Structure 1
Amino acid sequence: MADCHHWEAKLIGEVPILGYVSERLMVDDPHTEYDYSGLSLTDMEQLNHTKFYQLGNGGSLIFERDLEALAEFLECPHPEFFGAQVNDQPGGELQWVIVADLRGKIEPPMSERIQFSVRDNNWLDGLARALQEALAQLKYPVEHLDFMLTRKELDNSHAYANQTHLHQSQQSETIKILAKERKSLRQQRAKKDYIIARLRAKIASLEETVKAQETQLKDLEGEGEDIQGGGTSYLSDDDDFEEAKDLDFHTDVEGYEFMEAGVDDFILIDVDEEE
């Protein structure tokens, strides 16, 4: 059993040299051609499979690195290959049936599971053919993934465009509102400036009026008139006039006492005698 595993590891480490004829892959014997057997894993369970190969273990088979990189790009599990010998040919020759199991991505965007089988006269040649066919089979998932990614980018671009358009519309409305408010503020400011200018002009006019009145008052006060209208206001400040203000100019009686009648001032008249 140990020899069997050593022999398998040795074969896996080898890189078969294949030649291309038209679009089919031929082995060293040009009369041996690969074809698809149509077997699935369920059919393989009835066979005695003695070979198993899984990518991702650092192998160096032809097409292996490309297939591994593609599976990693698709975020799929490592592809697996099962091999079993069958004896169903008319000549009684044993052939290898290699079944490939390419599991799909389990997270969105998900991809389908791919299974196919090929026939070959030996394990390594059949495995190389299966690896090449696996690359071809994964072409559609790659195109689908590229489509999904492109569609996602388009959806993102469309959403971004809608968001940008909405933002621009909001900015445009905001600019219009601000422009209207700015115009209103300008009008209010102009009105206030006009009122302030009128008030300043009126204040200046009142100040000139006050100055003119103050000058007029000074002139009147200089001419001897008491504009304030106090209780001791007179037309003249002469001392003589002040002293003689209570004296009668024709009598020595003060005030109007000379006009009062006394007892001796009345003369009795006999009316009968006069008649």
Structure 2
Amino acid sequence: MEPTNVKFYQLGNGGDLIFERDLDGLSEHLGRPHPEFHGVEVNDQHGGELQWVITADLRGKVEPPTSERILFSFRESSWLDGLARALQEGLARLCGQNVMHPQLRHHVDHLDYMLFQTQKELDNSRGYANQTHFALTQHGEAIRMLNKDRKSLRLQRAKKDATIVRLRAKIAALEITVKAQEDQLREIEEDDGGIDLQGGGAFLSDDDDFEEDEDPEEVDYEFLEAAEDGIIPIDVDVDVEE
């Protein structure tokens, strides 16, 4: 994969970064060329996180007595952080290379080792911070989406509430209209002499208005006068068989 971004920085151009003047002054005092730093942005991490590969080049003295070249590289999360770290580590390595006293040189080497361990811990902390920042960014996006959905639901609810209020007002108006029409019909009925225009049951027959039909088999004989012997004569048609 081709690098997406490339940076280059050389001391001796009046920069004011941390450790820049110290490293450039020591290099000039030792007769070394100005240190150079290269940075390449790469995207080869599993999570898609961009990193910078920083390379520090502290060239040695060309004229006798010559000195060894110091060249090292590491990874950093940004170009400026990597450049500051390279300046600090380059100064430590250059001091360690030029210490003549054995005990002091051992002390400087130990400090260089401690610096390496500290930088390693800082790298781990920075990686954890980057992961946390990425997680917080995702949470922020989720919160923004939830807020957007919440606003949409509130808008829908407001529209429904407005529709309900409008329908209730329409129902109330219709009830008033129906009541007015009923009153008008009642007045018309009173003016027309009690004619039911609403289709009531005032003029319909009711079964209670009629008496039950008499049984044709039963005959009331109380109107007949009894004879002296107390017998009431009744004419009965009798069929006589021939």
> With structure 2 as the length reference, what TM-score do the two structures score?
0.39
Structure ranking higher on relative contact order (CA contacts 8 Å, 6+ apart) = 1
